[in-house]
Amino acid sequence: MLLSWIQRTAARTAGSRAPLYSGGRRGLFGGGQAPEGTSTTRRVIKRGAVLFAQATATWYVYGLCVDGVKTHVLQGTRFAASSTSGSSGDSVLGAEVARLQAPKTIPHADGRTPRPAYCGDTAQPMHERMEALVLDQQDRLVAALESLDTSSKFVRDRWEREDGRGYGITCVLQDGAVLEKAGVNVSVIEGTLTPGQLKSMRDRNPQMAAALRGTEEYEFRVAGISVVVHPRNPYAPTAHENFRRFEVHRKGDGAGKPLLAWFGGGADLTPAYLFDEDVRHFHGTLKTACDAHDSAYYPRFKAWCDKYFAIAHRGDETRGVGGIFFDDLEDKQPEDLFRFVYDASSAFVSAYVPLVARRMTTPYTQRHRDWQLVRRGHYAEFNLVYDRGTKFGLMTPGARIESILMSLPLTARWEYMSSPTPGSPEDALLQCVRTTRDWVATK
């Protein structure tokens, strides 16, 4: 039935590449304005797209769960040094980089921004201080990223939950000369934990399993920042940052002391092309932030990151070259953990943004662009299939889907039977993400 529907649709639209309506340059999905009388058509199209996506996703996830399945049969792709035919694969795509100029200074990248007053205000509730922290970090990172291309600005979208239980500020930049897509999101929300969310918490943490009894209802409160940056230049790495504080109360007891409270987060790097000095700088900066609080944090959180970002259906491949990751962190006093989270989140600007500035003007070819898009495809696979934050968000009633899926790249590529040429720069990256390395000790 699904196949016949696809065939009928393809037959009707064969030879036409026009958008469904032409009120904007990107048609239906790009924010163009629809002419009058199209609301019913849009609902039909949207419903059809949802049904198609659900059916496709069901078969895709089923395939990933089949023991011994060959992943390349499901999504496969082929990439090699000669994957682009003719001379176009080696022609320099220099139009957008020729006019770019890396900034001489990057706001907040020198690590000298003083700690704000909320860091030491112990009289203020911890949840309110975490809210202040994520809003502060959002403003700093937006300023740092906008310094890379003064012609592009983030769009700030403040939203409120329909039930009145929280808000968020989504800052997004799309189609910039330097940043193809970047999102810096803050969420400060509360709600009732669903059975699925409770099960996930109990399954991963014995302490939570003991505290969260099956017969009671629980409410949560969370303040967090989530960041994903996808640069346009294939030599500039993608990066992700997320820091949050989560607390759980018995239903109706939100004003009292939390039953459970913890911090989580981390930062990781996902390059398409490997530059050892870039990865060492990223890891070294995060290690310095960790060592200021506990010398055991960096090796512990680095190993946790390598394990967490594994793409299981691709065997031994990880999403990128790692960084730090932690969750359910409550091994110290809340004040100590809050200061650590502040320092670790503040370090992201100096760990990452200078890398984009370093690579943003490097000329590249269509071959490099194609490989970047293939790697973005793997990035999207992890986020949609495994990422804990994405799953939690999609299970939350009243969740804002656009903000949750902000992490996905603007463009990606799935070719069949990807196989980089042995010894090529693409192969070097692939071999790197199939192993773990001590980036701080490696010289």
- The catalytic residue positions are 240
- Helix boundaries (H) for 66-155: 71-74, 95-98, 126-146
Rg (alpha carbons) of the chain, rounded to whole number? 23
Q: What is residue 389's three-state secondary structure?
A: helix
Q: How far apart are alpha carbons 264 and 326 in whole angstroms?
A: 5
CB 197 within 8 A of CB 236: no
What's the Cα-to-Cα distance from 418 to each of 82, 204, 366, rounded to whole Å? Answer: 12, 34, 16
> Which residue do the tokens 């997320």 mark?
242
At 190, which helix (H) or strand (E)?
Answer: strand 179-192
What's the Cα-to-Cα distance from 87 to each of 363, 366, 370, 418, rounded to whole Å? Answer: 16, 10, 14, 21
Q: What 8-state DSSP symbol labels residue 380?
A: H
231 phi/psi in degrees, rounded to 5:
-70, 160
Please, what's the b/e burial string for 52-88 (b: 16 or more CB within 10 A of its CB; e: otherwise)?
Answer: eeeeeeeebeeebeeeeeebeeebebebbbebbeeee
Quickly count: other Cβ atoms within 10 Å of residue 216's Cβ.
Answer: 10
Q: How far apart are alpha carbons 244 and 215 in whole angstroms?
A: 27
